[in-house]
Amino acid sequence: MSQQLKLREAIPKDAQNLLNFLKKVSQQSDFISFDDIQSTAVRDEEISLDAIFQSEYDELIIAVLDDEIIGYCRLERIDAQKAEFGVVVDKEFWNNGIASYLLEEAIDWANASPLEKLVLEVYKNNPAAIHIYQKYGFTTELTKDKTIVMTKMVK
């Protein structure tokens, strides 16, 4: 049986798998930090995912392979026009186009939403992430000590 990657919106019943994924990827790279994830209860994550699912400003898209979450893209409302944007892929699946699929799906979703601008912060010493964000139209808005703030207009 061949494996098939599926991209879909996260739902409350994904809570345990999402928490497992976040715990795993937080150990794989210095670029990812989910300090509070260890203490997050599954029920709290279910409530959070339900709120995201119901929101017209927030979105969480997951990449699923054989019922296992291997990547996700999160849009989290900053205000009525902007959302913070982020993509995480399990290190075992880097360089397989999964981040691109997630970016495309999330940008399509943002274009159909009331949002006007996506904002993200990326470490300067993460050229792979910077490259893919630039490939999808993000531009540098601000340079900080260790990070770069990048933005993309979606309207």
| Cβ 61 vs Cβ 72: under 8 Å | yes
Classify residue 45 by burial, with Cβ atoms within 10 Å: 0-12, 13-18, 19+: buried
Q: Total domain count for the chain?
A: 1
Burial readout 72-104 (b: 16 or more C-beta within 10 A, e: otherwise)? bbbbbbeeeebbebbbbbbeeeeeeebbebbbe
CATH number for the domain harbouring residue 89: 3.40.630.30
Kindly give the pairing relationship between strand 147-153 and strand 117-123: antiparallel
What value does the mean pLDDT of the chain take? 91
Range of the domain at 82: 5-113
76-111 pLDDT, tens per residue? 999 999 999 999 999 999 999 999 999 999 999 999
Residue 129 lies in a domain: no
Q: What is the pTM of this model?
A: 0.88
pLDDT of 6-40, one tens digit each? 999 999 999 999 999 988 988 887 656 556 666 67
Domain assignment present for residue 103? The answer is yes
Q: Is residue 122 part of a domain?
A: no
pLDDT higher at 65 or 32: 65
